[in-house]
Amino acid sequence: MKARFLMLWTVAVVATAASFIVHLALRFETVRLGYDVGAARVEERHLLEQKRLLSLEAATLRQADRVEAVARSTFQMDVAQPASVIAVGKNRAAPRLSGRVE
């Protein structure tokens, strides 16, 4: 009778300890995952801000005035004169002018 009680008591203590250890492991995992989610949200905000800044920079670089300024200053380009433009295409009877006509 005493041996049976001692065996049941041991099983109950081991089961209680095992459930407590499982509870602690799950709690620690939940906390760790919470920190990971927080870090991922911070990184997401950082990446969204970086995307916004890059989109703004790309829009600035695509502006016609900016492109023209770079073409004129860096590449020493100028607007083509209509006489220097050669039309290429199927319809050679009516040549078209390209570039700005000033």
Q: In the predicted model, what is the mean pLDDT of residues 48-60?
A: 95
DSSP 21: H
Statement: residue 101 has pLDDT above 90: no
- Collect all residues with Cβ–Cβ distance below 8 Å to 78 and sequence separation of at least 6: 72
Give domain limits for the chain. 2-77
Statement: residue 94 has pLDDT above 60: no
What sign does the dihedral 79-80-83-85 (CA atoms) show? Answer: negative
Q: In the predicted model, what is the mean pLDDT of residues 95-100?
A: 58
pTM score of the predicted model? 0.53
Q: In the predicted model, what is the mean pLDDT of residues 4-27?
A: 97
